[in-house]
Amino acid sequence: MADVIDGLKLEQRHGKSRVRVGRVWRHKDDSHFFVEWIVDISLLSDCLASYVRDDNSDIVATDTIKNIVYVKAKECQEQLSAEAFAIVLAKHFTSYYHQVSTAMVKIVEKPWTRTYIDGLPHRHGFKLGSEKHVTEVVLMKSGALKVTSSVEGLAVLKTTKSGFEGFVRDKYTTLPETRERILATAVTASWRYHCGSLSSAPSEPLYFSKRYEGVIKVLVETFFGSPTEGVYSPSVQSTLYKMADAVLSRFQDIESIQLKMPNLHFLPVNLPNKDNPAIVKFADDVYLPTDEPHGSIEASLSRIHARI
Ligand SMILES: O=c1[nH]c(=O)c2[nH]c(=O)[nH]c2[nH]1
């Protein structure tokens, strides 16, 4: 919200951050589903009087905002994606309160995944994985909707089929060219869905969860290539582009994707001393893993829409 007071522009928003909620859905066959969400809500709300006239009569208290997270979690009788829950919350704030023009809801879903015992899925047992699922939803009173999903910290490594050659060589360059190295990264991918309005948003409760799994599958398969042959990576840049392109080719409802892929280096170990030039001589076997410093490579790929 922006207002002009005495020739000055005031921009304000308020909400509640880090509202933590766990939700269990118990099915008739005694199998349970579970999510843990950390919810941030921020409202663009017409409550100027509270800033400039000490009049709080238009404020939806942040404590109330927190309570609504639990009320809506209770009301959702069916298991649903973090994106769908964020839309439920945003819809509530923009429709229930006349003064709220826009609701911004971010949810981080902790990676609890069903555990397996002797190859069998446990009915009510979960273990914590590594990468995080994050979503950000922005809903305006008009119904205009933006949905973004992300995976953070998708750590992947391959021990061969990676190289880096032909880069700029000048008086500052020491890096040797190679066609054999370890390629390791922790991918952060953020993608924006096409649904531009509440009325065109997918209504299936787990639609976005399936997409999330699908995007991760495409990213991982493109990074590694086939299980037997793999695929050669001439640079992180090239692999990143192929991963982004594969997601946009596979999922027509995704408008754009941003990938961040730090190059987590595994340095060859060579240990000489004055008597023995090769206590350890590197033969593509012993490495020094390091993430400081690391290369930082990121790009985004978007569909370009022809103007009619
Ligand atoms: O795939 C790579 N891209 C780079 O830009 C780069 N720079 C570097 O030192 N090593 C690498 N590897």
Measured over the CA atoms of residue 252, residue 110, residue 129 and residue 181, the dihedral's sign is positive
Q: Annotated catalytic, 265? A: yes
Distance 262 CA to ligand 1 centre (A): 10
How far, CA to CA in Å, does 179 sit from each of 38, 60, 154, 157, 165?
43, 60, 24, 16, 7
Distance 210 CA to ligand 1 centre (A): 33
Place of tokens 């979960």: 126
Helix ranges (DSSP H) in the chain: 48-52, 62-75, 82-96, 207-224, 236-250
Chain segment 79-103, per-residue pLDDT in tens: 999 999 999 999 999 999 999 999 9
pLDDT values of the chain reduced to their tens digit, one per residue, 308 residues: 789 999 999 999 999 999 999 999 999 999 999 999 999 999 999 999 999 999 999 999 999 999 999 999 999 999 999 999 999 999 999 999 999 999 999 999 999 999 999 999 999 999 999 999 999 999 999 999 999 999 999 999 999 999 999 999 999 999 999 999 999 999 999 999 998 899 999 999 999 999 999 999 999 999 999 999 999 999 999 999 999 999 999 999 999 999 999 999 999 999 998 888 889 999 999 999 998 999 999 999 999 976 55
List 14, 32, 62, 294, catalytic entry: 62
Please provide residue 172's backbone torsions phi and psi, each rounded to the nearest 5 degrees.
-95, -5
Of 33, 44, 36, 45, which is closest to residue 18 (Cα–Cα)?
36
Check pocket membership of 236 for ligand 1, CB cut-off 6 A. Answer: yes
Q: Which atom of ligand 1 is nearest to the CA of 162?
A: 1
* Among 162, 167, 172, 290, residue to substitute to test ligand 1 (most atoms within 8 Å of Cβ): 167
Q: Token digits for 156?
A: 């992947």
Check pocket membership of 235 for ligand 1, CB cut-off 6 A. Answer: yes
> What span, in angstroms and rounded, lies between the C-alpha atoms of 150 and 257?
9
ipTM over 0.85? The verdict is yes
b/e string for 49-86 if b means 16 or more Cβ within 10 A? Answer: eeeeeeeeeeebeeeebbebbeebbeeeeebbbbbbbb
pLDDT at position 248 is 98
- Cβ-based neighbours of 255, under 8 Å, separated by 6 or more: 191, 192, 193, 194, 302, 303
List 92, 106, 158, 265, catalytic entry: 265
Neighbours of 241 (CB within 10 A): 15
Q: Token digits for 107?
A: 């949810």
> What span, in angstroms and rounded, lies between the C-alpha atoms of 15 and 105?
9
The model's pTM is: 0.95
Check pocket membership of 239 for ligand 1, CB cut-off 6 A. Answer: no
Distance 183 CA to ligand 1 centre (A): 10
